[in-house]
């Protein structure tokens, strides 16, 4: 789990770093111009980190499924080699999908000055602004979305259905609580991520307002990645114990210095 959390943290840092610096620059300078090459680069990394976020959350759901439903075989099934393969496979899948979407986007033509109704370059928004035919691009984008968004989400739901079924068979209430508590952080992150993403696209479909879409997009592009470390850290006993020791040590040193 810690190995997967390390990669998820790296992805969250990359996700935020791709969007927030340019957004802050636009706010400070009031200059919202972005060159075409920078926009294409931003789309590449946004797609890459979004896909990685989804795949890593799916891998972590499988990890929880094995830990709760097959605890005696956990160390055998989730061996270091499989963990590395799952993570490397997630990175390769995200990179290939992002590269494909970028290459498909670069075959389109755009007007010299285009106004993007968003605070960052998003693939769907760019396709709507293209001057050439985007039918093939839309087909590729929706096929990729189905396999890389809907498919993993179905896998997460299946894993948790098995987890709930297994936990219900545990006789003691304490055992049920302990089993569910190991999934609480991951379930919180999954719910937050998918609910905000669904909120973005449902609100944009209902209102057709670029302002509403941009406001909702802040949740899954900025707020959710920033909350993930807090969600996992505050529920982790080892981290809470380390923080307690750190602050007690600092307080003790301060008292000694004052004396």
Domains identified in the chain, total number: 1
18: number of Cβ within 10 Å: 22
The CA distance from 94 to 51, in Å, is 5
User: Any residues with CB less than 8 A from the CB of 40 and at least 6 apart, and which?
Assistant: 102, 105, 106, 121
* pLDDT (average), residues 224-243: 70
Compute the C-alpha angle 32/141/133, nearest 5°. Answer: 75
Beta strands in 195-257 (DSSP E): none
Q: What is residue 28's predicted lDDT score, i.e. its pLDDT?
A: 84
* pLDDT (average), residues 154-162: 92
144 has pLDDT over 50: yes
119 within 8 A of 214, measured Cβ to Cβ = yes
* pLDDT (average), residues 48-68: 92
The CA distance from 236 to 93, in Å, is 30
88: number of Cβ within 10 Å: 11
* pLDDT (average), residues 212-230: 72
pLDDT tens, 69-79?
Answer: 998 999 999 99
Q: What is residue 58's predicted lDDT score, i.e. its pLDDT?
A: 93
102: number of Cβ within 10 Å: 17
Q: What is residue 22's predicted lDDT score, i.e. its pLDDT?
A: 86
202 closest CA partner among 219, 186, 189, 187: 219
Q: What is the DSSP letter of 252?
A: H
216 has pLDDT over 70: no
Max Cα–Cα distance, the chain, nearest Å = 76
Q: What is the CATH number of the domain that holds 148?
A: 1.20.1070.10
pLDDT tens, 102-143?
Answer: 999 998 888 777 788 778 888 888 888 888 888 999 999 889
Domain that holds residue 124: 2-258
179 has pLDDT over 50: yes
Residue-by-residue DSSP string for 10-23: HHHHHHHHHHHHHH
258 has pLDDT over 50: no
């Amino acid at each position: 789990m810690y190995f997967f959390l390390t990669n998820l943290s790296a992805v969250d840092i990359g996700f935020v770093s791709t969007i927030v610096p340019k957004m802050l620059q636009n706010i400070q300078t009031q200059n919202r111009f972005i060159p075409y090459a920078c926009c294409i680069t931003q789309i590449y990394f946004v797609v890459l980190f979004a896909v990685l976020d989804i795949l890593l959350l799916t891998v972590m759901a499988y990890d929880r499924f094995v830990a709760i439903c097959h605890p005696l075989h956990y160390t055998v099934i989730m061996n270091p080699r499989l963990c590395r393969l799952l993570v490397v496979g997630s990175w390769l899948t995200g990179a290939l999908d992002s590269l494909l979407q970028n290459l498909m986007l670069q075959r389109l033509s755009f007007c010299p000055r285009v106004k993007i109704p968003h605070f960052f370059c998003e693939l769907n928004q760019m396709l709507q602004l293209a001057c050439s035919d985007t039918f093939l691009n839309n087909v590729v984008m929706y096929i990729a979305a189905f396999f890389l968004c809907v498919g993993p989400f179905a896998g997460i739901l299946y894993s948790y259905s098995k987890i709930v079924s297994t936990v219900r068979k545990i006789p003691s209430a304490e055992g049920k609580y302990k089993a569910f508590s190991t999934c609480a952080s991951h379930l919180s992150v999954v719910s937050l991520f998918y609910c905000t993403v669904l909120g973005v696209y449902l609100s944009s479909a209902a209102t057709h307002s670029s302002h509403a879409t941009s406001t909702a997009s802040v949740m899954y592009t900025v707020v959710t990645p920033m909350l993930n470390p807090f969600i996992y850290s505050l529920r982790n006993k080892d981290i809470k114990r380390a923080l307690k020791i750190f602050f007690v040590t600092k307080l003790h040193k301060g008292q000694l210095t004052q004396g």
